[in-house]
A and B are shown apart, each in its own frame.
Chain A
């Protein structure tokens, strides 16, 4: 028995040992497998002799850099000119910079020929250029040339297709192989390939084209523009549809698409797959097979059901109620729905491989769109679901900013194109990528003014800086008398008493020379007199002498106290991008007359601050003079009493915000009656004071005529400006900013601005 047990146990032991030795391999694998995770991954070895390794290049070789003396730079550049042509054009080789040196960036449009009508869209493009500040009628001055031949639609099956373009352009003496020409195109190629072929030789011309593919795009030379419809407004343009920053930023649907499904041909790969991501809940992807004449020939089993579902949803409804919108390629790479989604604040999810995105040279699309890959369509739902709500909110706002800054009208699209080209002419005086992608957008930033963020009123927060703590008082004097008026003397005293005043500038707008310096009052700050050109728009000319960020614009007859100035300036420091001032007026829509109305009566709202007493950033002088087209300034010079409305309209168009009214010690007296104008009537100044509640009717009888004329002029001005801008930029405000303890029942001694409360 014992022996048996002994044997049993010995066998047992032996089998155990055997198991371990022979089965060990398997077990070891098991152990290896579990141990592998813990084991450090096999990384790049740390070579024992790594410190002895040679440098990739001998330092001297690196600094000597080959033998540069082989080819002279001048010869090399000359050689480039002949070898880098047509499809390999770059600004250095195909653009004649010297044409832009003498007269700056001037654009010439070929005169339109009578027998050659252009399409509506091309007409808009041409008129945008003709209205712009860069337009010139003289080809000698021109830096850039625009053809009068409509090249927008180069699909030769299209009715708009212009034939024999080659022959025509060869007849133009200015053509010069296309050098310094800019050609616009929306549609190129035709069924079935839809290539980028334009059907004529563009030579060395810059191509501004929609649906540009990265392969034929000449970087730094061509410009990709968005596809826009012929209904796209000339100017102004509809605003975006985002009226509020909803939190969470999710809308009813997460992702939508509604459009054609191509059963065959180019682009069908993506369009055919879109229905796969439809889940009927938060992802709606609807396709229809109905398009073209013979769609039924190609139709498949899905078509009938899809076509029915398709009709159940409204495109506009989806656009309004979705967080993301799929923007797939159509036959061509770009589509109308790109701009539609952008306007609708429906974040575009681009499925258009190889599309050179519109204005990508300037615009950072990563901030406003999801650039998907056609090949990864099925990942899109999870990818967009993973995007954090904060980012969605930022995306939504950015779509609206971009839409409004660069796309909402043909004017904006054309101007963006021109500005991008202009920026290339002098790289050191061009907008940084930041400026293009931050409010208020590149078009409103003039690199000729400055390229430094701190010099503009818009970027203090992002830049982490603040405006300078001093202002320049800028007084427009119209005295006709030999001596200075009492009011201007008082004004100079009051303003120079402000601790924030750096200097006083007097703009002398009369024919007579200003009184000699001895006649001007002695002030603690420098006082300079500038002789104006006797134009109303003079008061917003960017005079060199204005060196502070803040300008206090004043009229001779304005009456202000030092405390008012001090308080208003401190308020302005908080709102450096707005106009901050005293007397205000407002605008309203007069539904009866179908036009904008203007009122100087006391109202509960305000939208215009009179520049007879207002603080604003000096950059607005540059914008007023350089940015606005000359035609608009001429309009203002001709109208009298309109330039301050234009300034308000301009600032509102830039900021989208109302101006700010601050406390006024007392209501400015009615001074219209005693308005003194020097010389001719055209150089009048607007009434510097806010009128009494019942103005203009309560004005003294004598002045009544002049007064109502002025009133109607201002109303006209407002309407003409709204027409120029394409919309009414003015924004109304219901508030006024007062000192914190203003008229509070607390001892006057505790108040910082007690003088503002004196009746």
Chain B
């Protein structure tokens, strides 16, 4: 509309000059009116819409008591009871989820209503604080959609977290009249306190047909593996009490029981343990003589001693989590928060998120029958492992227990992973605490393979214009038996490579790749021409390596295919005076890097270098025309956690450190720059990944008193 009026306006001046001046004012006035009219109309058209959205906004400012009331007739349909045989492939309509590049399911939330029966009595509390938090979290998440037609999963706003707070039949009827209910297909219900007296069912008693149940307190008989999701029972203390993480280590008590409502049989067993093991076992109970105003839930007592709960949990290494009437206990959340290792004694209990969480890393599960052995079982756990379990317990709480949001998102992610299994979150991502994710290394080439020798290697020579030297390198390298292809990366854009006829004739294919820019990273590009796993990067001036040395290097690489295997070795050192890293090229007893002027490595690292190099390292290297080899050393060490392998004795290389030897000073600036690289890369990687070793690889019979002609690699180590 704005565009149309503007157009009109520009046409105006062309029209006006043709009219008489005395009419001009008239016309201008007329046009102004038209314009004003247009603008006003436009405004008018737009305003109502804005007013509407502000209406929406005021709607959001509603109270939960103002939501529409829905009356449920007594004879309205009741869903079937939950079907125990339901699985994703039988009860879930996967077509609603569709294939999408993001691999995210879409979740719709029904709007909040208040359900009443025929007499106007409400069916349940409209919504609890926790369920509201949960729905808010879903609504704020990536999973949420407000379009019911695009949704794959439906979450009713009917709060069934606590079965005791609702009327079972009427709630079921309320569910059945949801607009997309369709026997509960693709509907997800959240319940934390299932069952009621006297038998306390372990799953929600509300008939729910095919709906998925995210339940706290499933037993192995009610849990439909791969369909339901086992969730924690949220502890409101999580939000109220701030328990700072305590470092792992021994604590005052070894075993602590903090639950107030224990069956007398359990209590007897615990007391027997205490009698046997004395002070290290603390069995708390509710306090009988608390003064008024002190919340009983925040205190625990042992004889006359009063303890603060949940703070007291931090005083113990292990905390007992016994089943009560229900299997799921909110105390589990408190225990995890305190970084106390839960000792879970609840036969048949399906632990929260057990589909993805490895509870063996964070808890000890003891069969009820074995309660008397609890002390000795716990004693047999190594201290180091206990410390890890403490850390793990705290991490589980932080990631999956601490808020309704955490619980909601973990639940949706689990369902999401079932629908898009090829994009599922891995075991490590679910289970490794950040500290472990940071310090652990998962080698992308983890399978111990010794690649077949027959495959051979591809030599890549990066060259600019030293044709004569290049040809010598080609001739020398071509003598290596396992060479399968030679690739020359021609990095000079101003000059054409020599004509085909001028190149040395060698027995393997020789291919010249011309690059678009003179960049050092061209050396590490994963060219399609590289058909072997092994790559030999070699400078166009490295002519001193013998065929035996190169072949041996290849054999060593085959035994260490996930490492850099190279000839000249280098070292990084910590300069205590300068308080930073220093590059060292002297004759040292240690190595931590090999120069890629002559090194074997796996082609995979070319991919990593080109596409996965962290930070701006790649550009930095290209800009400075230096340190591409140090960057490669960092990359490989960081991803594999392993050291380089230096092969064969030191030689007099035409020092690659001093390519432009004009004098000592230039050499020194070069070294300074290399040191800078190490410091720069260490800060980008956030750690120093390089590993220092004291060994190098030689042939088995190197320098042994043995006839040279019987050695596989006799010509090694000549200067």
Contacts and interface: CB of A to CB of B under 8 A. Distances in A.
B381 interface: yes
Contacts of A655: 448
Given A28-B49, A366-B421, A571-B694, A450 B382 contact: yes
B698 interface: yes
A94 to B, nearest CB: 12
Given A48-B63, A439-B446, A13 B37 contact: yes
A141 interface: no
Given A16-B38, A65-B329, A92 B700 contact: no
Contacts of A675: none
A27 B45 contact: yes
Interface string A1-43: 0100100010011001100110010011001100100010111
Contacts of A2: 23
A21 B41 CA distance: 7
Contacts of A733: 559, 700
A444 to B, nearest CB: 13
Contacts of B77: none
Given A27-B45, A605-B700, A735 B556 contact: yes
A64 interface: yes
A297 interface: no
A439 B700 contact: no
A45 B60 contact: yes
A247 interface: yes
Given A48-B61, A741-B589, A56 B87 contact: no
Interface in B130-148: 130-132, 135-136, 138-140, 144-146
Given A49-B65, A80-B348, A738-B696, 20 more contacts: A12-B34, A27-B1, A41-B145, A56-B128, A62-B193, A92-B367, A244-B449, A245-B445, A245-B449, A366-B421, A375-B94, A393-B604, A427-B365, A434-B358, A461-B642, A584-B700, A740-B694, A743-B717, A744-B587, A752-B694
B576 interface: no
Given A44-B136, A740-B588, A433 B696 contact: no
A570 B448 CA distance: 22
B525 interface: no
A755 to B, nearest CB: 13
A170 interface: no
Nearest to B693: A574
Interface residues of A, number: 147
Contacts of A74: 265
Interface in A368-425: 370-376, 379, 382-384, 386-387, 389-390, 393-394, 397, 400-401
B263 A245 contact: no
10 contacts: A43-B146, A56-B159, A62-B235, A244-B452, A384-B422, A429-B380, A439-B448, A450-B385, A658-B559, A742-B696
Contact of B325 (A66, A390, A397, A741): A66
Contact of A44 (B139, B590, B697): B139
A387 B695 contact: no
B95 A370 contact: no
Contact of A743 (B533, B640, B649): B649
B699 A735 contact: yes
A637 to B, nearest CB: 30
B30 to A, nearest CB: 5
Contacts of A693: 706
Interface stretch (B175-183, B271-279, B433-441, B673-681): B433-441
Contacts of A451: 360, 381-382, 385
CB-CB nearest 8 A-B residue pairs? A464-B439, A66-B325, A44-B139, A65-B324, A353-B89, A20-B41, A56-B128, A53-B129
A112 interface: no
B388 A452 contact: yes
A382 B588 CA distance: 54
Interface stretch (A213-221, A526-534, A643-651): A213-221
A281 interface: no
A482 interface: no
Interface in A242-290: 242-248
Contacts of B436: 463-464
B650 to A, nearest CB: 5
Nearest to B385: A452
Given A374-B89, A383-B99, A432-B360, A740 B589 contact: yes
A13 B384 CA distance: 87
A430 interface: yes
B248 interface: no
B331 interface: yes
A305 interface: no
A373 B698 contact: no
A192 interface: no
Contacts of B185: none
B449 A735 contact: no
Contact of B698 (A39, A429, A437, A735): A735
Contacts of A736: 697-700, 702
Contacts of A42: 56, 146
A43 B144 contact: yes
Nearest to A566: B694
A379 B99 contact: yes
A17 B41 contact: yes
Contacts of B711: 604
A47 B64 contact: yes
Contacts of B220: 90, 219-220
A661 B603 contact: no
B684 interface: no
Contacts of A116: none
A735 B697 contact: yes
Interface string B44-59: 1110110001001001
A159 interface: no
A27 B193 CA distance: 52
B364 interface: yes
Contacts of A741: 587-589, 650
Interface in B103-128: 109, 112, 125, 127-128
A130 interface: no
A31 B95 CA distance: 33
B127 A370 contact: no
B297 to A, nearest CB: 5
Interface stretch (B254-262, B460-468, B490-498): B254-262
Given A382-B99, A439-B446, A45 B65 contact: no
A189 interface: no
Interface in A329-387: 353-354, 364, 366-367, 370-376, 379, 382-384, 386-387
B95 A66 contact: no
Contacts of A245: 445, 447, 449, 451, 533, 561, 602, 604
Nearest to B378: A428
A215 B109 CA distance: 30
Contacts of A745: 719
A54 interface: yes
B442 interface: yes
B627 to A, nearest CB: 22
A214 B587 contact: no
B161 interface: yes
Interface string A654-682: 01111001100001000000000000000
B33 interface: yes
A72 B265 contact: yes
Contact of A574 (B225, B324, B643): B643
A54 B646 contact: no
B302 interface: no
A464 B424 CA distance: 24
B694 A46 contact: no
Contacts of A432: 358, 360-361
Contacts of B700: 584, 603-606, 661, 733-736
B236 interface: yes
A570 B590 CA distance: 11
Contact of A247 (B129, B589, B604): B604
B101 interface: yes
